[in-house]
Amino acid sequence: MWILISPWFIKWFTPKEVAGITIFPFIILNKKELKQDNVFVNHELIHIYQQLELFFIPFILWYYAEFFFRLLIYRNIQKAYRNLSFEREAYLNETNFDYLKTRKFFSFLKYL
């Protein structure tokens, strides 16, 4: 896993409120200060594990399919995003720095 700082990438390839994105094996951040934010980095590391389990392309396909399904349900982009199984797992466990040591394979399925 490598952490890259690329405000340009974040600006052009993500919504403007996004501070970072994980594209296995990279965590791409828009500010170097985020590299010191252990909670933020742990959140993104959880996404690394999710992407390893599903491999990158199936992960992306599932992520967007679930996002559009949630968008139909919630009719709100932020609510749809926050209720994705991948994001729910990451947000609920981002402050548990031992989580990845005990996490079982496909744990995101518990958050569907």
DSSP string computed for 28-64: EESSGGGGG-HHHHHHHHHHHHHHHHH-HHHHHHHHH
Mean pLDDT, rounded, for 68-89: 97
pTM of the predicted model as reported, rounded to 2 decimal places: 0.94
Question: In angstroms, how far is the first alpha carbon of the chain from the final one?
Answer: 26
Distance CA 86, CA 63 (A): 8
Separation CA 68–CA 88 (nearest Å): 16
Q: How confident is the model at residue 16 (pLDDT cuts 50, 70, 90)?
A: confident
For 22-76, what is each residue's pLDDT tens digit?
Answer: 999 999 999 999 999 999 999 999 999 999 999 999 999 999 999 999 999 999 9
- How would residue 17 be classed by pLDDT, with cut points 50, 70 and 90? confident
Structure-model confidence comparison of residues 108 and 15, the more confident one? 108
